[in-house]
Structure 1
Amino acid sequence: MDFKTLTVQRDGAVLIASIMAPPMNLLGPELVHDLVSFISEAEDDETVSVIVFKSGDPDFFIPHVDVTQIKAYRDEAARLTGEASIAVLFRYLSESRLVSIAQVEGRVRGAGSEFVMGCDMCFAAKESAIFAQMEPAFGVVPGGGGAQHLVRLMGRSRALEVMLSANDYDAELAERYGWINRSLPAADLDEFVRSLAQRIAQFPVSGHVAVKRRVNALALAPIEDFRRDSDLFGEGVREPVAQKRIQAAIKRGFQTRDAEMNLGKLLGELNDD
């Protein structure tokens, strides 16, 4: 497997994909292209049963989409699902025969949060992982399935808090809210995820498929709801209010490493612009 934004290692029936898309792992067309190719190739390899996603950047897992390339990354998603929607792409991952695990260090916001919720499990470093579903700060609905997952994971009130505040949440609070499986010390995270992935991989793939199918029937929103959220985001992000706030955020450093280390503060101050 040869990719521009992913480095892939194999550990038996487990593939570990490290995300490295400089300058800060934004979800743009190159990263979506590689994720699509990686998922497709892994599914085609019958000797692979578990995939792990981690980041090669200690500060950023996937901070959010590249707001300057929305059409381009959506078109890349269509190569796997036939639909220009990352919501449908992430839901595809949830339904895949592969068991997917997100190992998070650094910031994961917006579509990054939606990506890790599309994975089957998520484990995060206590010291460095930061989560946010911040699209409402721009006046739009999360477009990659965020609302669908968050309400089911943490309930109505907490989902509303997370989205309407558009704020940053550390790994321990994210665990307490049900956003992720567990937060662990960074020093223990690699070994924990490796051991879990290997344990799962030793069991029959037929069991993975059967269990995922039943759990998804109970907990995964219908694909029409993901499509609707994707459409609402696409429509909303073109509205003057959203465009004005995006431009105001860009003037203050949005989509640069320094500003996004504390994006929650920046978004909270946008009304001053």
Structure 2
Amino acid sequence: MPALIDGTFNSREVAGLPLASGGVVAGGVLYRSDALAAVTDAGAATIAHSLIGTVVDFRADAEREQAPDRLPEHVDVVRFPMLDGAVRDSGRAERAVPSLAAVYAHLLDTHGADFAAVGRLVARPADPARPAVLVHCTAGKDRTGVAVALVLDAVGTARDAIVTDYLATAANLAGAWADGMRRRIEAAGMPLTPELDELLAGTTRPAIESVFAHVDAGGGAAEYLLRHGLSAPDLDALRSRLTSPGR
């Protein structure tokens, strides 16, 4: 599927996914993407004419400085820095490359308040005229993938549908995006092992299912977000905004 925003590889609306109890995820509420640094004029126009009023950037400071987003002036940017890229320190010979599941467990253990804040931003948009939220990191895969999975699971999206949305990222990144990242890794003198390649651009069912297992141990995604600062009224508002009876 072509990217929604020209100049990106992995941008799309998160909508139409089936809910476990019937209905679908509502449109015009939640979007996800890789970095927005190379957005073209056409891509910027897409954002400008959309309902997107808030962009959540999960990238660390160094990532943002190297590739600042290109956005219309009216868009409000909220930053929740997580990790220094998915391959932080992984090229050092003395360090083992972490699995995707290990990266996701780290995110869940250390950024619960940030994920809850994302849920609140989606639930209570600052600009009623542009109420949609776009979340992104560098690839739109790991930090973004965990955030989207938590929000979708909290409102009752069918888990197979969440998995399918997550897995779509690998296909979107395959080719030019992934090849460019591989060249950067090799230029830095890192051995491009299969484990590192998966960390760069891969998505696997066990990885995203490890997120479900992690939050299920504490009562589920909704309870995880509530425990980390989302209020019960926020959760109700999130469910109201993100769910639709469908056809």
Q: Which has the higher strand share?
A: 1
Q: Which has the higher helix share?
A: 1
Query: Same fold, TM exceeding 0.5?
Result: no
- TM-score under structure 2 normalisation? 0.28
Q: Which has the higher contact order (CA 8 A, sep 6+)?
A: 2
